[in-house]
Amino acid sequence: MFENRKTGTGENMKIIYMGTPEFAVPPLQKLCENGYQVELVITQPDKARDRGKKIQNTPVKEYALKHGLVVLQPERIKGNEEFITRVKEINPDLIIVAAYGKLLPPELLEIPQLGCINIHASLLPKFRGAAPIHRSIIEGEKTTGVTLMYMEEGLDMGDMIAARSTEIDRKTTAELHDELSMLGADLLITSLPYIEKKINGRTKQDESKATYAPMIFKQDGLIDFAQSPEELERLIRGLNSWPGAYTIYHGEPMKLWQAEAIEEMTNMPHGTVTDVSDEGIKVAAGGRVLLLKRIQLPGKKAMQVSDYLKGNKITIGEILG
């Protein structure tokens, strides 16, 4: 299937790959580029996406089809005897998972002789669960990373194989997502030769340090200006690019894409616009000031406040929210 196979890259190891969103594409791409034998790609069923609501292939399916890989999209895995039989017939040495979207049942976990491994976008045991990238930013972590781990029953509870870290700085979730996806792909390829030979490390997670990263919903983006400017700035970065933080302005949602915590005190009510300039919109937040720098109103593109003010007006004293 891949003509330019590299030697010593597990050419005889049969792999099933499970993943769904963009995050899961670079690891699959790295497997293909390094000559690994991907027997089957399993991804979630296609869904309607974007404003047109047209049914679209998942990103992983899109990549797999372009590269001649066999794709399977079961509606469910647990209790799906036909699916389990198909996997057993392939008899994979290893199942690799990256953001597939569902927990794997025991009858699937026990099939590959080298086990099932998962690329998780946090430094476990911190931020187990569905939204580790969002939560690491929102909760003010200084560093995050990816962990390669063995899968077992339970949510991200298996033994760790290896991990790599990166500084969060002022990155958005969109920026950190892309970085961690590539970091995970590189970590996978580096670790696979050791996993194949069964000489890789295996470290149990410290349950006393486990934290969880619950799924993010659109309503999580509603800004509460009673919070501190630092908390709100992190929330805005953490929800960029999905679902986006927002407030209410003249009865309509105003999305907030970039903000800065300002060392400026105010006794104005929370959400009050205290100043407007090309620099941004200053809003009272938690007794201090949050500077909104990039916004988006319904029917318009996201833009810097300086560009928005060229054809629109925001009045000092108005209250957002």
Structure tokens at 289: 């000031």
pTM: 0.93
Residue 4 domain-assigned (yes or no): no
Hey, which bits of 214-271 come out as E strands?
245-249, 252-262
**Residue 232 structural domain:** 218-308
Buried b (16+ CB within 10 A) or exposed e, 188-225: bbebbeebbeeebeeeebeeeeeeebeebeeebbebeb
So what's the pLDDT on residue 273? Answer: 98
Count of the separate structural domains present in the chain: 2
- Which of 182, 209, 236 corresponds to the end of one domain? 209
Residues 201 and 227 in one domain: no
Contact 259, 233 (CB under 8 A): yes
Residue 319 domain-assigned (yes or no): no
Non-local (6+) Cβ contacts of 279 within 8 A are: 291, 293, 305, 306
Give 10-residue mean pLDDT values along the chain (321 residues).
37 92 98 97 89 86 98 96 97 98 96 98 98 98 98 95 98 98 98 96 96 97 98 98 96 98 97 98 98 97 97 96 92
Residues 238 and 197 in one domain: no
So what's the pLDDT on residue 49? Answer: 72
So what's the pLDDT on residue 9? Answer: 53
